[in-house]
Amino acid sequence: MKKFTKNIEDFTCAHCSAHVKGDGYTNHCPHCLWSQDVDINPGDRASTCGGLMKPIGIETTGDKFIIIHKCEKCGKIARCRASENDDMDEIIRLSNNPEFVFGK
């Protein structure tokens, strides 16, 4: 089974209303970091949930940031790489989130 489908889509963020230009790998708003639960496997648009996914934490891997999202509708936890276009102030703010403990 294919695990990733590249989808080049522009969208309006359902959380902050920013217009986002997609590059085929874009799955969250670079301004507020929120996402939407639309995929089962990245890019497939097969999820029927559609809930907003709140950024709840940051992990680091070397010099890369991983954003942790939690769906406000179904509770699904998902991880995705931060983009170079993402708001670094938001990433820093999120990395200081004392409520987030991965795996909890």
Distance CA 7, CA 1 (A): 17
What's residue 18's pLDDT? 95
Distance CA 74, CA 37 (A): 9
What's residue 98's pLDDT? 59
Q: Phi and psi dihedrals of 11, rounded to 5?
A: -155, 165
Q: What is the pTM of this model?
A: 0.83
DSSP code, position 35: E
What is the three-state SS of 48-95?
Answer: CCCCEEEEEEEEEECCEEEEEEEECCCCCEEEEECCCCCCHHHHHHHH
Query: What b/e sequence results for 44-69 when a residue is b if at least 16 CB atoms lie within 10 Å of its CB, and e otherwise?
Result: eeebebebbbebbbbeeeeeebebbb
What's residue 2's pLDDT? 57
- For the chain, 104 residues long, give each residue's pLDDT as a single digit of tens: 557 777 788 899 999 999 998 887 788 999 999 999 988 888 788 888 989 999 999 998 888 999 999 999 999 999 989 999 999 999 999 888 756 544 43
